[in-house]
Structure 1
Amino acid sequence: MRIIAGEFRGRTVKAPKGEGTRPTTDRVRESLMSAVNSARGGFDGAVALDAFAGSGALGLEALSRGAACAHFYERDGAAARVADGNAKALGLDARRARVHRADVLKDPPVRARPPFDLVFLDPPYALEAADVLGMVARLADAGALAPDALVVYEHGSAACSQADDAAAACGFALASRKKYGDTVVDILRPKEL
């Protein structure tokens, strides 16, 4: 995998070994980042959360495009080490790229300040949408999610109705949905209060 655009364009990103992670393909990542760029008006100054980081490719791509900082949450130790190695290979220090070896569903970063205004969710497809989006709702309830945040949720195409139900229950509105074969990328926003 390579960084697609920005400061680190063309730089290699290593993927964790084994079947435990499913890296987002370059094609999907490029389209996803283009959609985020349009929806936000760019990445400048963004505070990003890469919640199921794996290699960290989504958060690293956001940093390459101008995000101020990114927090990477990964429960698998080997994958967390790969994400940390990828950040260090790009010369990023802990002020811009912080890798947390933790289960984001069990221990979400509810004390994060400034709040996240860009959240990437690329969980294992077996995880329930209600659990994944429920974690983001916990961030919002704790003030760790900006009111105008974008939430990018990658899931399997068979889970669209569950994602819709979970988004509605957790207070998120669907801004866009794009399908790439068996992969679907939703961009969500917190509903107006």
Structure 2
Amino acid sequence: MLVIETGSFKRKRLEMVPDKRTRYTPGKVRMALVNILNLNNKTVLDLCAGSGIVGFEFLSNGAKYVHFVEISSKAVKTIAANSRILGVEKRIKIFKKDARIFLRTSKNRYEIVFTDPPFELGIVNNLLVNISNIVTKDGIIIVEHSKKEKLSIPDSLELLVTKRFGDIHLDFFRLKNVL
């Protein structure tokens, strides 16, 4: 079981994806995220969402709504089950889609975009190419990745800070100002 670490759903237990390949964002990393970000009434995208634990942590800390993007049927079912456990079905939407396709086709814009793609498969750089398409002008993008991965940062993004948690790095980006 996964446990919400902070906010109004603190200590609520959530389901895990029944697939041993699923990697979860550790509780200490989720706590750091909610302490860094202003989530109050924000629109959030949780890309490569897995069980949805990060998005649900964000909802627990004041996010207005969260859209989850996940390609795995097992993960999609887990996110739906977890939304029912928390009673937040009306504050979420689940897209069963490849994240790379979602970024190219979505008309939605989000104030906070969090992505945690599978480590060391090159997916993170593929996502960065189109991630600026879905973030608002003043939005924040957070990319969770392995410290072994070298990111190719597109010209449209500005790296604000990197937070390190052992093998896990969180890179915070915003759109570059366009004159």
Distance 2:4 2:81 in 1: 15
List alignment gaps of at least 5 residues for structure 2.
none
Q: Cα deviation per residue 1:19-70 (whole Å; 9 max; x = unaligned)?
A: 231010111111122222xxxxx21110000011100011111111111110
3-state DSSP of counterpart to 2:88: coil
The answer as to whether partners of 1:15 and 1:55 remain within 8 angstroms in 2 is: yes
Task: Select the structure that is richer in strand.
Answer: 2
CA RMSD of aligned residues (A): 1.4
Q: Distance in 2 between matches of 1:129 and 1:62?
A: 21
Deviations 1:54-106 (A, max 9, x none): 00011111111111110001100001100111011100123x11111111212
Q: 1: distance between equivalents of 2:7 and 2:15? A: 18
Percent of aligned positions that are identical: 26
- List, as ranges, runs of 4+ consecutive aligned residues in structure 1 with deviation greater than 4 Å: none
- Contact 1:148–1:190 under 8 Å retained in 2: yes
Contact 1:50 1:119 in 2 (8 A): yes
Q: In the alignment, residue 124 of structure 2 is paired with which amino acid? A: A
Q: Is there any run of 5+ residues in structure 1 with no aligned partner, and where?
A: 37-41
Distance in 2 of aligned mates of 1:27 and 1:145? 25
Q: Which segment drifts farther, 19-28 or 44-53? A: 19-28
Give 1:170 shift.
Answer: 4.4
Q: Distance in 2 between matches of 1:107 and 1:190?
A: 19
- The aligned counterpart of 1:184 is 169
| TM-score, scaled to structure 1 | 0.85
Counterpart Cα distance in 2 of 1:155 and 1:124: 8
Q: Which residue of 2 aligns with 1:27?
A: 28
Amino acid at match of 1:181: G
- Residue 51 (1) aligns with residue 36 (2): no
Write the letter of the residue equivalent to 1:9: K
TM-score by length of 2: 0.92
* Equivalence for 1:73: 69
Letter in 2 for 1:54: G
User: Residue 116 of structure 2: which of 122, 131, 141 is its match?
Assistant: 122
Q: Is the contact made by 1:133 and 1:170 (CA closer than 8 Å) also made in structure 2?
A: no
Residue 138 of structure 2, aligned match among 144, 148, 151? 148
Separation in structure 1 between the aligned mates of residue 46 and residue 123 of structure 2, nearest angstrom: 18
C-alpha contact 2:99 2:127 (8 A) present in aligned 1: no
Residue aligned with 1:105, SS: helix
Aligned length: 175
